[in-house]
Structure 1
Amino acid sequence: MDPAFRATANQSPPLVGHNVVTSDLALTEAITRHGTPDMVEDLTLLGREAGTAEAREHGLLANRHEPRLTPYDRFGERIDEVEFHPSWHWLMERAVGHGLAAAPWESEQPHPHLRRAAGFFAWGQTEPGHGCPVSMTYAAVPALRADDAIAKEWTPLLASRRYDPGVRARSDKVGALAGMGMTEKQGGSDVRANVTQARPTAEDGWYTLHGHKWFTSAPMNDMFLVLAQTAGGVTCFVVPRVLADGTRNQLDVVRLKDKLGNRSNASSELEFDGTLAQRLGDEGRGVRTIIEMVAATRLDCVLGSAALMRRSLAEASWHVSHRSAFGGRLVDKPLMQNVIADLAVESEAATALAMRLAAAVDQPDVAHEAALRRIALPLAKFWVCKRTPFMVAEALECLGGNGYVEDSGLPLLFRESPLNSIWEGSGNVNALDVLRALSREPEVLDAWINEVGAARGGDVRLDAAIDDTLALLGDVGSLEVSARRLAGQMAACLQGSLLVRHGPADVADAFCSSRLGTAYNGTFGTLSGGDLRAIVDRTTPVV
């Protein structure tokens, strides 16, 4: 065959060799806005490593070689161990090493949660599955603070930057990971319907658990926060994987779930039959105790979905910048510019909102920030996570048939894209949580009004959208049936306010003209007016 036919022609090179942090202007501008320029410098090494060919390969391998459950050892003893591919451990070691687990809770640096959120967003673009145990480890710490003694035992290990896998006692480890088990097969999000029973033992504060958990991710983690029924009602417990004397706790992994999305993480079904657990907080206060963990993992749902958006956008914009068709590069075609620019607007809006929420975590004692976090977390969780599957699908289409093959990375992103709308409460659960917050905590509406109101006068379409949303809030009789519409409008107004105040004029104009006060049908590539090429150039990675 003629060698010319063997040569690769008109194929986009793989997107490697770029810095995932510094090549993302939406991210670096948000970091500088809410933090400091030094924070960008601090994250440069992480960004450089995330953009390497090595990281890309490990992400593919971790999903190609799925975790394997070994219930028994060769002597017939129950061990319930899950074996992961070395690429999983490579990803985990770096995620923990870069301080993306619980390190912010022990940090004395300024803006530790913003720094961690930016790193989680950037590193999450390597591979989404390993973000689950990292996220749960981060989120466990505020819940553990319900008991000072328990928090002092576990927090230093969870906040460690040393990845230390293996089934060993806490005293023998230099780092630990946390998991969570809330839902059961009969209840799902309705955790008050849980049937797992907790029976007190002779040792104060310790119980035995009897029941099941329908979804528990990362069953090799060192400890789990779970909910179970006591005489006083639903209660939160700490379940160690290994007891203080070095013996394994009775924790049976029934199976690993055959699930949609990533294949790297081991999502499991657990059975408890005499499993020892330490009570965290008072009996009957389990939901209130674990709610801080839920809030933190909801933030990570927003960050994770925004990371999927950004990775898919980067792949699409990179491809069209290197691929030619119909007599020229795809990026020079007006309609393709419209699609990429529209995807870029969606991604920048999600990034801006995610970083704003992370900045609020760093200011828990500021009334406005605490109230904004309370209302904006379920809003962002609802809206950003709902938008992600549509955006990833459109980005995949930009690559055509090349995007439909696994090696491109887009099929994994597409399968993963619905996850965060389900995890930590479905769309309905979060929309109703918005109504709950509005009805019980009047300060949260004031926080939303003040936040979006900071952009008043900056764009007439945003002003009108804010007024329309306030009118919808006034229709008390239809609030529940309109909860999704309300959540979407409130979230979009928050995004619009951030872009009008802080984003490039072209991006803010494109967002307000297409997302606010129109009959927008969700189809990308329908922007009108503005410098679309400037938006495309702003978002395309540079190697």
Structure 2
Amino acid sequence: MNALDDTTLNTRYLANTHVVENVSCELADYNTYAQDTALREAVQREGALWADAELQRFGQLTGSADYLEQGHLANKFPPELDTHDRFGNRIDLVKFHPAYHQFMRTAIQHGLHSSPWTDPKAGAHVARAAGNYLHTQVEAGHGCPITMTFAAIPALRLQPDLAALWEPRITARVYDPRNVPAEQKQGVTIGMAMTEKQGGSDVQANSTRAYPVGQGGPGQAYELVGHKYFVSAPMCDAFLVLAHTDKGLSCFLLPRWRPDGTKNPMQVLRLKKKMGNASNASSETELRGALAWMVGEEGRGVRNIIEMVAMTRFDCMVGSSAGMRMALSQALHHCAHRSAFGARLNQQPLMQNVLADLALESEAAMTLSMRMARALDHRDDRHEDLLVRLVTAVGKYWICKRTPGHAYEAMECIGGSGVMEDSMFPRLYREAPVNAIWEGSGNIQCLDVLRAMGKTPEVVEAFFAELRPTQGQNALLDQQVRGLAKEFADTADLPYRARHVVERMALALQASLLVRSAPAFVADAFCASRLAPESSFNYGALPRGVDVTAIIERATPRLG
């Protein structure tokens, strides 16, 4: 007989078709701050060493598996709009997954919406930016209302009577998401309603009108009528709004509820169907006689919100830098665990070239962002104030512009698994273009650079003064600076060349900052790969002689 015994049959029909091996694992339960050498150096260098212990604790939270999962849930279950309750009452209520509320609560409890205003000391903006950088790596969408709440304070202070009424609740570390009048809350959030469909960034084309309830003027009540095409975070308690009066475009503070407890007729028509930024509600609204109070001088609305715009653009820099850091961390972690063709991926020369290049981009973005945070901390210094005026637009343009390509290249390091929706990369990739487009797209940033140079020529002097400390330390950087001087001297068709000029400005600043603060193997590699005439902007084309091993080691996060 050829009958098989029971043992043979059991072995033959077992479903052990494969062994799970040579795969990565989740990058989780690590300290996002402690494992980021470049960030820790920047925090100390830019004046916020006093915040190190708190950032260590915050890094442990933001790197925990449970918290990272909350970021996934906040985006898996996007917000939903109920315009009316079941009895037919207008409520304009946006409902969120509990995970989203957790991020809002954490951000507010840690002062990411207010700490530089409530405790304005040296390093305050740096410490807040570092916390924002860590938190945004986990979940980016909640950052929109946090940023707007933070940025509203400089604009609101132009109207001291309104600031006295609202600022204590805006800066309070209390998150209260209830859809009730602000007077019933200890803490509130602030949104913006600037753009309209016919104008976009050209807010002078707005058609919304403001009609005085009484005598009119700064601090007085108006009723607003119009249509706002992009209103992010419509669940905020009040909004800074642009509308026309007889004297021109003016700024207003519009609460969701009127003082008598009735709902203000700022009506949400729909939530936008966005490709990314899924956890955040962005909406289209109509103002049907919505009550609001004028902020600052009548007819100077754009000037009155310019400081708010500077803050939101700065946060775009930080947010895009954070996206780069998380994408890089995921790629480095994967390549440290997976092998191919007989070696770990992070030991394969071509992959090392790609990973090191991604790490250079990430560190340069974070370094420039933290330098600008220090400038915000010292705006009483003329040089620092001029840098804020000019470099906020430069950095916003370049860092945000580089993020989508960085996200894609990092995703490619993972391979096919990086495209799967159960990984973090689809979310990072969809999020990557957002900051480049919102708060003024690339062309607007470049035109703002030219406008700053035209209105305040001192900004050009401040720019070159910022580069001067590294003069003579790197030949390629010196060459870049000389080339920029020629670009500025040639004013012919400058608007046409603006992107090229701003790009060179950003690279020169990043290179100079790295030369003066980063290890030589980082600074030299950045200059050689970004400033040389034959440089390629495709990642993975670093020239010979770069210490890729040291760059990768510096940037790779470790579990535990």
TM-score, length of structure 2 as denominator length: 0.95
Q: Is this contact kept in 2: 1:21–1:40, CA < 8 A? A: no
In 2, the alpha carbon distance for the partners of 1:534 and 1:4 equals 41
Q: CA shift at 1:36, angstroms? A: 3.8
Aligned match of 1:119: 131
Q: Return the letter of the residue paired with 1:410.
A: F
Q: Which runs of 4+ in 1 moved over 3 A?
A: 1-7
User: Is 1:541 the equivalent of 2:557?
Assistant: yes
Q: Is this contact kept in 2: 1:452–1:497, CA < 8 A? A: yes
Q: Return the letter of the residue paired with 2:107.
A: A
Q: CA shift at 1:466, angstroms? A: 0.5
Question: SS at the partner of 1:20?
Answer: coil
1:497-529 CA deviation, whole Å, 9 max, x = no partner? 000000110110111001113233311011121
In 1, the alpha carbon distance for the partners of 2:168 and 2:486 equals 48
Q: CA shift at 1:108, angstroms? A: 4.7
Question: SS at the partner of 2:532?
Answer: coil
Q: Return the letter of the residue paired with 2:490.
A: D
1:392-444 CA deviation, whole Å, 9 max, x = no partner? 10000000011101221111111111111111111011101111111110110
| Distance 1:207-1:472 versus aligned 2 partners, 3 A rule | same
Aligned match of 2:94: 82
Q: Return the letter of the residue paired with 1:433.
A: D
Q: Return the letter of the residue paired with 1:531.
A: D
Q: CA shift at 1:371, angstroms? A: 0.4
Could you tell me which of 63, 67, 72 is aligned with 1:51?
63
Aligned length: 543
User: Is 1:427 the equivalent of 2:445?
Assistant: no
Q: Is this contact kept in 1: 2:530–2:536, CA < 8 A? A: no
Could you tell me which of 124, 131, 155 is aligned with 1:143?
155
Q: Return the letter of the residue paired with 1:460.
A: A
Aligned match of 1:346: 361
In 1, the alpha carbon distance for the partners of 2:209 and 2:48 equals 48
Could you tell me which of 478, 487, 492 is aligned with 1:477?
492
| Distance 1:3-1:505 versus aligned 2 partners, 3 A rule | farther
Q: CA shift at 1:228, angstroms? A: 0.3
Aligned match of 2:7: none
Question: SS at the partner of 1:415?
Answer: helix
Question: SS at the partner of 1:306?
Answer: helix
Question: SS at the partner of 1:234?
Answer: strand
Could you tell me which of 161, 166, 179 is aligned with 2:178?
166
Question: SS at the partner of 1:82?
Answer: strand
Larger deviation: 103-112 or 437-446?
103-112
Please give the residue correspondences for 1:235-246 in structure 2 after superposition, counting only pairs within 5 Å. 235-246=250-261
Question: SS at the partner of 1:153?
Answer: helix
1:9-53 CA deviation, whole Å, 9 max, x = no partner? 222110001111111111110100011433222211111110011
Could you tell me which of 214, 221, 224 is aligned with 1:206?
221
Question: SS at the partner of 2:243?
Answer: strand
Q: Is this contact kept in 2: 1:464–1:517, CA < 8 A? A: no
Q: CA shift at 1:56, angstroms? A: 1.3
In 1, the alpha carbon distance for the partners of 2:115 and 2:171 equals 4
1:174-199 CA deviation, whole Å, 9 max, x = no partner? 11111001100100000001000000
In 2, the alpha carbon distance for the partners of 1:153 and 1:190 equals 31
Aligned match of 1:31: 43
Q: Is this contact kept in 2: 1:104–1:159, CA < 8 A? A: no
Q: Is this contact kept in 2: 1:197–1:209, CA < 8 A? A: yes
Q: CA shift at 1:245, angstroms? A: 2.6
TM-score, length of structure 1 as denominator length: 0.98
| Distance 1:350-1:97 versus aligned 2 partners, 3 A rule | same
In 1, the alpha carbon distance for the partners of 2:190 and 2:90 equals 22
1:134-168 CA deviation, whole Å, 9 max, x = no partner? 11111000110111111111111111112111122
Could you tell me which of 516, 524, 530 is aligned with 2:531?
516
User: Is 1:106 the equivalent of 2:121?
Assistant: no
Aligned match of 2:199: 187
Could you tell me which of 405, 408, 424 is aligned with 1:390?
405
In 1, the alpha carbon distance for the partners of 2:95 and 2:54 equals 33
User: Is 1:250 the equivalent of 2:262?
Assistant: no
Aligned match of 2:239: 224
Q: Return the letter of the residue paired with 2:203.
A: V
1:360-414 CA deviation, whole Å, 9 max, x = no partner? 1111110000001111000001111111111110000000011101221111111
Q: CA shift at 1:294, angstroms? A: 0.3
Question: SS at the partner of 1:69?
Answer: strand
Aligned match of 1:64: 76
Q: Return the letter of the residue paired with 2:478.
A: D
Q: CA shift at 1:533, angstroms? A: 0.6
User: Is 1:17 the equivalent of 2:17?
Assistant: no
Percent identical pairs in the alignment equals 49
Aligned match of 2:8: none
Q: Return the letter of the residue paired with 2:367.
A: A
Could you tell me which of 531, 536, 540 is aligned with 2:547?
531
Structure 1: segments with no counterpart, 5+ residues: none
User: Is 1:315 the equivalent of 2:315?
Assistant: no
Q: Is this contact kept in 2: 1:260–1:415, CA < 8 A? A: yes
Question: SS at the partner of 2:138?
Answer: coil
Question: SS at the partner of 2:93?
Answer: strand
1:453-499 CA deviation, whole Å, 9 max, x = no partner? 11111101000000001111111112111000000000110000000
In 1, the alpha carbon distance for the partners of 2:487 and 2:237 equals 46
Q: Is this contact kept in 2: 1:352–1:499, CA < 8 A? A: yes
RMSD over aligned Cα atoms: 1.2
Q: Is this contact kept in 2: 1:169–1:245, CA < 8 A? A: no
Larger deviation: 66-75 or 203-212?
203-212
Question: SS at the partner of 2:422?
Answer: helix
In 2, the alpha carbon distance for the partners of 1:490 and 1:359 equals 19
Larger deviation: 145-154 or 6-15?
6-15
Question: SS at the partner of 1:125?
Answer: helix
Rg: which structure is higher?
A: 2
Larger deviation: 38-47 or 267-276?
38-47
In 1, the alpha carbon distance for the partners of 2:214 and 2:148 equals 30
In 2, the alpha carbon distance for the partners of 1:446 and 1:8 equals 60
